[in-house]
Structure formats: C-alpha cells, structure tokens
Chain A
C-alpha cells in the first residue's frame, strides 16, 4: 500500500488518518448543510480527493481539520448547485418557477387570514438543545420539495445572500422570495407539530 506523500512541513497525515480522524466530523458538517447521507458522503470523498491533490498547498498555518473543512465548504456548495440543476429535479430549459402551493394556500382562509392560530416557540437565545433543533430541522426539510429545501439550506444554513443564489441558480429574485416563503411556511407547519409537540410534552 502506498503512503501519502508528506509535504515539506511534514504536517500532513496520510489519507487513512484523515478518514479516521476527521471523517466523522467532515461527514457531520456536510450532513448539516446537505441533509442527505449519500450527498454528504460524496462531499467528504470529493474533499479528501481534492485535499490529496492540493496537499502541497497546505501552508501548515491552519490546523489540518480547518484546512479540510475549508475545502469541504466549497465542495458542499458545488454539490448543491449540481443537485438543484439536476434534470430529475428541475428541467434546465424551463426556468425554475414556483407559485404558491396548496399547502401554503391551505393555511389561509378566503379573506387571507390564518386558519389555525400559531404558537409561541419561545426565545431562540434560550434554546439549549440545539442538537434536537437540528434533528427536527433535518426531518422537516426532508418533507419539503427538494429544490425548496436546497434553496433554504443555501440561504439560511450556508448563509449565502439571495443575490448570489439567484445568479448561481439562474432564478429571478421574485421567484427566490416566493420559494423561500414557501419553504418557511412548510417548516413552520412542520415545527408546529414537532418542536411544540415536544415542548408541550415536557411541561
């Protein structure tokens, strides 16, 4: 078995060590943004392959983990871009158009008022169990149409601004606002059941 070439600083470990030491961390980081195991595994693989190629550029200024996460971030955005453009998800010739769907419509009566009253989810600064929040968010995002989930993820979890996202995905800003509104309303409904259900149970 061949050994990974070590750079002149001698700071880089072999791919075996990368996978063993950072594999899980990179995977979780990718899952956080992609919420799809297959895609997250691909992201880790792409990252380590790119790292192998770029080993000589590793300056040794940052920790190996930080360096790998830096590469991973780019790979995640690449994968999301690719996924959003997938023909199974969206016809590339057709602009990605989203109008108000039935779910959002069903939340309002004919006069545009909320049908069911919403409930207080508490103060975000006081939420201690972020892990649970993330689990519920992951579940709820899975229930949205994939493009909406990915767009939401780019916007809110990767923190890209809408202008860049629109340029990237070739959608109009108006369309992105409609889609994000739809995603948020879908998440609101899902959280209403899961987040609050648990809080009420804990009382």
Chain B
C-alpha cells in the first residue's frame, strides 16, 4: 500500500519518466481511494501545464512591464562597441 508521501513522489516522477507497471497500478489505486492525493495530482498537472504554455508562448511576455535598466543598456552597448572597435583595430 502506498502512503500519500510515496504517491506524491510517483506523481512527480510520472512527469519526468514513464512509470513501471507496478508503480502505475499502485498509484492509480491510491488515487482512486485518496481524495487528497487526487487534488495534489491536479495541482502538479496545473504547474506542469502552465509552465508548458508559458514556455511555448514567449510572445506573452511582450505584455509585461519589466525590461533592461538604463545601466544595463549602457553596459551592454559599451561591451558591444568594445568588441567592434577591437575588430576594427585588428584590421578585421
């Protein structure tokens, strides 16, 4: 018999690997009788699905307000110019 703790490990692992037959059956059985774990299973799926959606649609990040600070901008430009100038002086 799985405990909820064991079940939570299998629920998490089922996202990362294919569970073995015995593992699958015992998890299924546990979920059938354990309401708490059912909710947790849905929570884990929720996190997994939302991450997947976010990873797939980086366009969504256009709507967020964060961006490069002015200091970071200047620093990056300075580095880029340094690299360009380096190229020029080396006759490239």
Q: A interface vs B, CB < 8 Å?
A: 1-2, 4, 15-16, 18-19, 23-25, 27-29, 31-32, 41, 44-45, 48-49, 52-53, 69, 108, 111-114, 117-122, 124-125, 127, 130-131, 133-134, 137, 155-159, 162, 173, 176-177, 180-181, 184-185, 187-188, 191
Contact = CB atoms under 8 A, between A and B. Distances in A.
Contacts of A120: 39, 42
Contacts, number: 157
9 contacts: A24-B67, A28-B67, A52-B83, A69-B58, A113-B3, A121-B42, A121-B46, A130-B50, A181-B13
Contacts of B63: 131
Contact of A156 (B48, B60, B76): B48
B22 interface: no
Interface of B: 3-6, 8-9, 12-13, 15-17, 36-37, 39-40, 42-55, 57-58, 60-64, 66-68, 72-73, 75-77, 79-81, 83-85, 88
Contacts of A133: 50, 54
Nearest to B17: A162
Given A2-B85, A184-B47, A113 B4 contact: yes
A113 B64 CA distance: 40
Contacts of A48: 76, 79-80
A173 B81 CA distance: 44
Given A118-B39, A124-B45, A27 B67 contact: yes
A32 B61 CA distance: 8
A44 B74 CA distance: 12
B52 A49 contact: no
Q: Which 4 A/B pairs are nearest by Cβ-Cβ distance?
A: A112-B3, A24-B67, A124-B49, A181-B12
Contacts of B84: 2, 4, 15, 52
B67 A131 contact: no
A7 to B, nearest CB: 14
Nearest to A195: B46
B80 to A, nearest CB: 4
A114 B11 CA distance: 14
Given A133-B50, A159-B52, A15 B77 contact: yes
Given A108-B5, A131-B60, A191-B43, A15 B80 contact: yes
Given A27-B72, A28-B67, A181-B13, 13 more contacts: A2-B84, A15-B81, A28-B61, A31-B61, A45-B79, A69-B58, A108-B3, A113-B4, A122-B46, A156-B48, A156-B52, A173-B17, A181-B8
